[in-house]
Amino acid sequence: MEYPKDPYISIHYRKYLGLDKILSAQHLRSADLEKPAHDEMLFIVIHQIYELWFKQIIHELDSVSKMFKNDYLDENNIATAVSRLDRVLVIMNILLEQIKVIETIKPMDFLEFRNYLFPASGFQSFQFRKVEVMLGLPSDQRITYNNLPYHSPFTDEEKRELDSIEQSGTLVTELIAWLERTPFLKFNEYSFLKVYKEAVNKMIGKEQDAIRQSQYLTEQEKEMRLAMVGNTSNYFASIFDEEAHNKLIAEGKLRFSYKATLAALFIKLYRDEPILQVPNQLLERLLDIEELLTAWRYRHAQMVLRTLGRKIGTGGSSGYDYLAKTAEKHHIFYDLYNLSTMMIPKEDLPELPKELKDKLSFTFTVK
């Protein structure tokens, strides 16, 4: 679009937004085939809106990613990243709500034009795949159909772009590198891992004592609950044993490095300390994005089931079954979810040394 070079020369609303192109981009195949289907207009418009929102999400994620690519991330940039991820979350909520609009197309009305869509499919949305790659969904953990690579529907240029994003660093890999630079895990004589392990042992001991002293449980029930509570060798094994943690990474069950996991845990446990509040918000926003993405996948699958039942997808997938599996399996920030397993009550949280606490606060002196 050509604009006047002088910023003070007026421009018309219609030209600025490119409305001539946007509003003439709805071509109904049913009309071209002289079998007009009323609901095809809505079907096209809603998917075009999705693609516009995907474009905005990519714009926001790209800006956040660039902030993290430096070895030093300014504290103000973390707040900006949180703000832009908040915008992504608002957009994703809109994407979720838009499914209600699609569901106003009833099954028989959709069937009036569905046969004209083959072999087009949402699986061919390059922008949605780009969002997944930018966030950090690994290509080797994707569920595909027809045994074809996930990027098979795209042009060579698009494939190269997806590969480039994955190789240059996704939000997951950049987050790991940022967490690994956390400086507070060891401070003078203080060792976060040491005091945390003592706190976990204390917490487990209290739970075990409460079970043993219960007057409402049988001996068999006590044994069962004691086994469930376990000790530091089960739920906490990966945080107390770096070798065990690295084994889980090799098995594809974890992605965060050992140091990054310790740092994220430290941030979550001491999130009320002033300097850790914004980093904690960042971790929370990424979990929010994961949840909304999963919710959108699930609602999309339910919408397809409601509209098409068990019919195959227009792109050749198994339809509902394929979409439901992606909702179940396609997770990106599962290491952050895993931190909830390692939480301890506030009453058991070890006090930080004063000097370290001062470092994590906004302190000043009056002369």
Give Cα 265 to chain centroid, integer Å.
Answer: 18
Per-residue pLDDT reduced to its tens digit, 244-265 = 999 999 998 899 999 999 999 9
Residue 186 backbone dihedrals phi, psi, to 5 degrees? -130, 130
Which pLDDT belongs to residue 1? 60
Q: 315 near 122, Cβ under 8 Å? A: yes
What percent of the chain has a predicted confidence (pLDDT) above 90? Answer: 61
The answer to whether position 272 is within a domain reads yes
Round to whole Å and give the CA distance between 7 and 175.
39
The answer to whether position 347 is within a domain reads yes
Does residue 231 or residue 275 have the better pLDDT?
275
pLDDT at 365 over 60: no
Round to whole Å and give the CA distance between 61 and 55.
10
Which pLDDT belongs to residue 367? 52
Which pLDDT belongs to residue 153? 85
The answer to whether position 5 is within a domain reads no
pLDDT at 320 over 90: no
Find the Cα–Cα–Cα–Cα dihedral 326, 328, 333, 338, rounded to 10°: -160
Q: 185 near 261, Cβ under 8 Å? A: no
Which pLDDT belongs to residue 315? 57
Per-residue pLDDT reduced to its tens digit, 117-137 = 887 777 889 999 999 999 999
The answer to whether position 118 is within a domain reads yes
Q: 73 near 177, Cβ under 8 Å? A: no
Lowest mean pLDDT among 12-16, 54-58, 310-314: 310-314
Round to whole Å and give the CA distance between 291 and 331.
9
Question: What's 49's DSSP letter?
Answer: H
Please tell me whether the peptide bond between 119 and the residue prior to it is cis, using omega within 30 degrees of 0: yes
Per-residue pLDDT reduced to its tens digit, 154-171 = 899 999 999 999 998 899
- Burial letters 191-227, b for 16+ CB under 10 A, else e: ebeeebeebbeebbeeebeebeeeeeeeeeeeeebee
pLDDT at 74 over 80: no
Which pLDDT belongs to residue 299? 93
Which pLDDT belongs to residue 231? 65
The model's pTM is 0.89
Which pLDDT belongs to residue 117? 87
Give Cα 312 to chain centroid, integer Å.
Answer: 28
Which pLDDT belongs to residue 152? 82
Angle between helix 258-269 and 274-308 (nearest 10) = 100
Per-residue pLDDT reduced to its tens digit, 335-361 = 999 999 899 999 999 999 999 999 998
Give Cα 10 to chain centroid, integer Å.
Answer: 41
Give me the residue label for tokens 């396609």. Answer: 330
Round to whole Å and give the CA distance between 61 and 135.
8
pLDDT at 42 over 70: yes
Round to whole Å and give the CA distance between 197 and 239.
9
Which pLDDT belongs to residue 71? 60
pLDDT at 222 over 90: no
**Full domain range(s) for residue 301:** 27-359
Which pLDDT belongs to residue 2? 65
CATH of the domain at 202: 1.20.58.480
Which pLDDT belongs to residue 72? 59
Query: What rounded mean pLDDT belongs to the chain?
Result: 89
Which stretches does DSSP call E strand in 135-292?
186-187, 190-191
Q: In the structure, what pLDDT confidence band is assigned to residue 138 with cuts at 50, 70 and 90? A: confident
Mean pLDDT of the 33-45 span: 95
The amino acid sitting at 193 is: L
Mean pLDDT of the 101-121 span: 89
CA-based R_g, the chain, Å: 26
The answer to whether position 270 is within a domain reads yes
The answer to whether position 255 is within a domain reads yes
CA atoms within 13 A on the CB side of 38: 5
The domain total for the chain is 1
The answer to whether position 18 is within a domain reads no
What percent of the chain has a predicted confidence (pLDDT) above 70? Answer: 91
The answer to whether position 303 is within a domain reads yes
